[in-house]
Amino acid sequence: MLHLSKNKKLITTLTFLFIIFLFSCQNKEKDSDIIKDSTLNEIKKRGKLIASTECNSTNYFIYKGQAMGYQYELLKLLAKHLDVKLELIVSNDLEENFKWLLDKKSDLIALDLTVTKERSKIVDFTKPYSQTRQVLVQRKYNLAGQKMSKNHLIRSQLDLAGKEIYIQKKSSFSERLRNLSEEIGDSIHIIESSEYDEEQLISLVAKGEIDYTVCDEHIALVNKTYYPNIDIKTPVSFHQNLAWALRKNQDSLMLVINDWMTDLKKTRKYKVIYNKYFKNKRSVQIVNSEFYSIKGGKISPYDDYLKRYSKLINWDWRLLASLMFQESGFDPKAKSWAEAYGLMQLMPLTAQEYGIDTLSLPEENILAGVKFIRHLDKQLSDKIDYRQERIKFILASYNAGLGHILDARRLAKKYDKNPDVWSDNVDFFLLKKSNRKFYTDPVVRYGYCRGTETYKFVNEILERYQNYKNIVKE
């Protein structure tokens, strides 16, 4: 009997170990499937995350030359987590955002998307990062400025019968209002607009151009600070989950984003970002500023000069604006530790060569900077034919000096890299110029250079320029 008992224990143990083995094999197969997921691999391979979003007062905008926005800041953090660059493509047309995703032109849609059954048929949603409900936006005052009586404000969903409500095309509001129309047993006249987004429709209500729109409550609360004459107290839905959207079956990217977002939401950094865009009373000052890109359309106080003088070098004025912001933050009194001064931060000898000094007007400083760029362009034009590539070399030369950039080109050629290509070629050897082995190389004529500063200088200008292009019209 003792022998049988031992055998039974042995069989039980072996069976248990076999089950564990099968389970681990299944998990390995699942892990293998996740690794095979193409989107995350493609993001890593190309070195950048491509996300779509929209321009409005919370998601993505330019203010005093800087890119800002809730979705923008989250995406920057995600790209940093993935150790890749961020590329944004922008449209306030929801349908276009979904098309970009499904056509593989973007990796994800970074918007406050309401999770619905209909949408879940065509995309997968990340773990919800927030919740909201849909509310009716109406005016508290009539066009004469008189406060509306309680009887004139809609408080019951039944009173929406026969009303004309404008909403953004392809939004989840359409589905909710159609369902609500069925629930109340009467018609709600839904007008889907492809011309106006959620926030623009709120503005139209505030101005009295339309009577009603529907939007997410957290967006309504932000906009109420800009338009105190709107009423947003009437809900038209229960609370709903908000999330980002990915293409179907992108399990590894989904897993990474969900884990990252879960950890991020526990941090103080996330609370600061959320409060900045959804609870900050100073946001009214931003939106009312002429340097708020969506309303004022300006990047800096010097846009007119930038537009005029950028033509002398055949540059997009927004690129010149990005260079100016990098150099001085649009401060005409800026002065560096190296004695460079003014909006374009020219060194004293260079400034003197172009006829300016510390007392020169901002316009004169800008023109001198443009003339210096034109000089650098002439020095490089016979070496680098492709104009868009040459711009990177000009920016680098503006920061580090032409001699160091020519040194980096010579190193690239010596080590079988392309001396006419900046990224992963010449920039690599500029970074190496702080290494004794390289700055003492016989082909190097200008010695040591702290290349990391110039490397960042070029990348940050080009990244900011892309943000300007996304939001500010040419």
For residue 198, which amino acid is it?
E
Q: Are strands 66-68 and 124-125 parallel, antiparallel or unpaired?
A: unpaired
Q: How far apart are CA 405 and CA 76, in angstroms?
A: 29
| Block residue for tokens 């987590």 | 81
Q: Provide the pLDDT for residue 63.
A: 86
pLDDT tens, residue by residue, 190-239: 999 989 999 999 999 999 999 999 999 999 999 998 899 999 999 999 99
Taking the CA atoms of the chain, what radius of gyration do you get in angstroms? 29
Maximum separation of any 2 CA atoms in the chain, in Å = 108
Q: Provide the pLDDT for residue 346.
A: 96
- Residue from 301, 318, 321 nearest 473 by CA: 318
pLDDT tens, residue by residue, 312-342: 999 999 999 999 999 999 999 999 988 999 9
Q: Provide the pLDDT for residue 368.
A: 97
| pLDDT band at residue 474 using 50, 70 and 90 as cut-offs | confident
The CA-atom distances, in angstroms, between 462 and each of 240, 319, 392, 454, 456 are 38, 8, 8, 12, 10
Q: Provide the pLDDT for residue 8.
A: 55
Q: Provide the pLDDT for residue 291.
A: 67
Class assignment of domain 40-125+245-286? alpha beta
Computed over every residue of the chain, the mean pLDDT equals 90
Collapsing DSSP to helix, strand or coil, 59 comes out as coil
Hey, do 134-237 and 303-471 end up sharing a CATH topology, with the first three levels equal? no
Q: Provide the pLDDT for residue 334.
A: 94
Q: Are strands 213-216 and 134-139 parallel, antiparallel or unpaired?
A: antiparallel
Quick one: what percent of the chain has pLDDT higher than 90? Answer: 80
Q: Provide the pLDDT for residue 439.
A: 93
More confident residue, 66 or 4: 66
pLDDT at 15 over 50: yes
pLDDT at 385 over 60: yes
Class assignment of domain 303-471? mainly alpha
Are 269 and 261 spatial neighbours (Cβ–Cβ below 8 Å)? no
Q: Provide the pLDDT for residue 110.
A: 98
Domain range summary for the chain, segments of one domain joined by +? 2-31, 40-125+245-286, 134-237, 303-471
On the 0-12 / 13-18 / 19+ scale of CB atoms within 10 A, 151 is exposed
| pLDDT band at residue 143 using 50, 70 and 90 as cut-offs | low
More confident residue, 124 or 285: 124
pLDDT tens, residue by residue, 350-375: 999 999 999 999 999 999 999 999 99
More confident residue, 275 or 14: 275
| pLDDT band at residue 32 using 50, 70 and 90 as cut-offs | very low
Q: How far apart are CA 225 and CA 280, in angstroms?
A: 10
Q: Is the pTM of this model over 0.75?
A: yes
Residue 161: how many CA atoms within 13 Å on its side-chain side? 8
Fold entry, domain 134-237: D-Maltodextrin-Binding Protein; domain 2 (3.40.190)
Residues in the chain: 474
The set of residues, in sequence order, having a beta carbon less than 8 Å from that of 385 and lying 6+ positions away, is 420
Active site positions, annotated: 327
What is the 8-class DSSP label of residue 267? S
More confident residue, 36 or 266: 266
pLDDT at 34 over 60: no
376's tokens: 């650098």
Give the torsion sign (CA, 452, 454, 459, 465): positive
pLDDT tens, residue by residue, 95-125: 999 999 999 999 999 999 999 999 999 999 9
Residue-by-residue DSSP string for 24-41: HHHHHHHHHHHHH-HHHH
| pLDDT band at residue 1 using 50, 70 and 90 as cut-offs | very low
